[in-house]
Amino acid sequence: MSKQVKTRRTTVPQIAARKGGDPIVSLTSYHAHTAAIVDKHADFILVGDSLGMVMHGMESTVGVPLDLMIMHGRAVVKGTQKALVVVDMPFGSYEESPSVAFRNAAKIMKETQCGAVKLEGGARMAETIRFLTERGIPVMAHIGLTPQSSHVMGGFKTQGRDEDTWAAHEADAQAVSDAGAFAVVLEGMVEPLAAKITKQIPIPTIGIGASAECDGQILVLEDMLGLSPWTPKFVKVYGNLGEMIEKAVEEYATDVKSRAFPSEDEIYR
């Protein structure tokens, strides 16, 4: 009887070691069935707090509670075998203090069995990142356009258009790297700044609306599949699932109204 070989998940050190190597492929996912599809092609899957807007109709990510992230994170882990699963720490779960951040990050990891957490913020979160990593919690950082701070930023604004602001972003990148983050997401950042940061720091950069020079890329799955009513400039739409779903639902409704469904093929005799 042949012994089934269990697939080994991509690890945090393996992602960190990809700096300057083959581009890192990543997407968001929020449920087991889409995660199982993405798992075949992605190096890591992010359970992003964008699920608040994409799945739950929220106006921003600020209202996403910790328990919701845990529920979706658990589903993604169960639906995958290969990819590293990273779960976002939602707004309010880590900013108060490093000890509060540790308690909530540990809760996420224990209850979802994910491989790492992600939190937003540069130099201001360096102490927290160091506190977590020194206690065994791998952290992916997130700088540039940080959606949880959209109210302070005045909306979802591209970062780095004014070259006078570059030094602050570069300092953020260096700070999270020095604090022990194994990778950093660069969001909504002008291309030359993202490329410059990628060359400056020793950890992988993951671009979303940044630069092809980043060490990897991530998109929101629903955006690139054409399921979102509006997509940012930086999204390339690889499929039109929204149109396909609407067409299928329309045909189903027509069949039900005309009593064409269920037909002889779909009933029991």
Question: 91-126 pLDDT, tens per residue?
Answer: 999 999 999 999 999 999 999 999 999 999 999 999
User: In terms of domains, do 64 and 193 share one?
Assistant: yes
User: In terms of domains, do 164 and 262 share one?
Assistant: no
User: In terms of domains, do 50 and 169 share one?
Assistant: yes
User: In terms of domains, do 68 and 83 share one?
Assistant: yes
Q: What is the structure's pLDDT at 210? A: 97
DSSP 23-65: PEEEEE--SHHHHHHHTTT-SEEEE-TTHHHHTT--SSSTT--
Task: Tell me: is residue 120 an annotated ligand-binding position.
Answer: yes
- Catalytic one of 96, 187, 213, 246: 187
Q: What's the mean pLDDT in 67-71?
A: 98
Q: How confident is the model at residue 149 (pLDDT cuts 50, 70, 90)?
A: confident
Q: What's the mean pLDDT in 79-91?
A: 98
Tokens of 181: 């983050």
Q: What is the structure's pLDDT at 196? A: 98
Residue 2 lies in a domain: no
Instruction: Round the CA-based radius of gyration of the chain to a whole number and report it.
Output: 20
In what helix (H) or strand (E) does residue 205 lie, and over which residues does it extend?
A: strand 205-208
User: In terms of domains, do 231 and 250 share one?
Assistant: no
User: In terms of domains, do 23 and 99 share one?
Assistant: yes
Residue 85 lies in a domain: yes
Task: Tell me: is residue 247 an annotated ligand-binding position.
Answer: no
Q: What is the structure's pLDDT at 148? A: 83
Q: What is the structure's pLDDT at 99? A: 98
Residue 5 lies in a domain: no
Q: Kindly report each contact of residues 4-13 with a partner whose C-beta sits within 8 Å and lies 24 or more positions away, as own/partner.
A: 6/81, 7/81, 7/82, 8/82, 9/80, 9/81, 9/82, 9/83, 9/84, 9/85, 9/115, 10/43, 10/44, 10/82, 10/83, 10/84, 11/84, 11/115, 12/84, 12/115, 12/116, 12/138, 12/182, 13/182
Of 83-92, 107-116, 153-162, 221-230, the one with minimum mean pLDDT is 153-162
Task: Tell me: is residue 50 an annotated ligand-binding position.
Answer: yes
214 contacts 205 by C-beta, under 8 angstroms: yes
Which pTM does this prediction carry?
0.94
User: In terms of domains, do 125 and 107 share one?
Assistant: yes
CATH code, domain carrying 184: 3.20.20.60
Residue 122 lies in a domain: yes
Q: What is the structure's pLDDT at 222? A: 96
From residue 250, alpha-carbon distances to 89, 104, 239, 256, 262 in Å are 38, 44, 19, 10, 15
Residue 4 lies in a domain: no
Task: Tell me: is residue 250 an annotated ligand-binding position.
Answer: no
User: In terms of domains, do 137 and 216 share one?
Assistant: yes
Quick one: residue 202, left, alpha or beta (phi over 0 = left, psi -120 to 50 = alpha)? alpha
Using alpha carbons only, what angle is made at residue 92 by residues 89 and 96, rounded to the nearest 5 degrees?
110
Query: SS3 helix, strand, coil % of the chain, rounded to 5?
Result: 40, 15, 45
Whether 187 sits among the annotated catalytic residues: the reply is: yes
User: In terms of domains, do 230 and 261 share one?
Assistant: no
Closest residue by Cα to residue 146 from 200, 209, 104, 188: 188
Query: To the nearest whole percent, how much of the chain has pLDDT over 70?
Result: 95
Q: How many domains would you assign to the chain?
A: 2
Residue 3 lies in a domain: no
Distance (Å, whole) CA 201 – CA 51: 30
Indicate whether 195 pLDDT > 70: yes
Phi, psi of 227 (to 5 degrees): -95, -10
User: In terms of domains, do 46 and 129 share one?
Assistant: yes
Residue 7 lies in a domain: no
**Enclosing domain of residue 178:** 12-238
Distance (Å, whole) CA 129 – CA 177: 9
Name residues whose C-beta falls within 8 Å of residue 22's C-beta, 6 or more positions apart in sequence: none
| The CA-based dihedral angle spanning residues 59, 62, 64, 70, taken in that order and rounded to the nearest 10 degrees | 140
User: In terms of domains, do 198 and 268 share one?
Assistant: no
234 contacts 209 by C-beta, under 8 angstroms: yes
Task: Tell me: is residue 26 an annotated ligand-binding position.
Answer: no
Q: What is the structure's pLDDT at 154? A: 55
**Which residues lie across from 159 on neighbouring strands?**
189
Closest residue by Cα to residue 28 from 195, 227, 214: 227
User: In terms of domains, do 204 and 245 share one?
Assistant: no
Distance (Å, whole) CA 156 – CA 108: 27
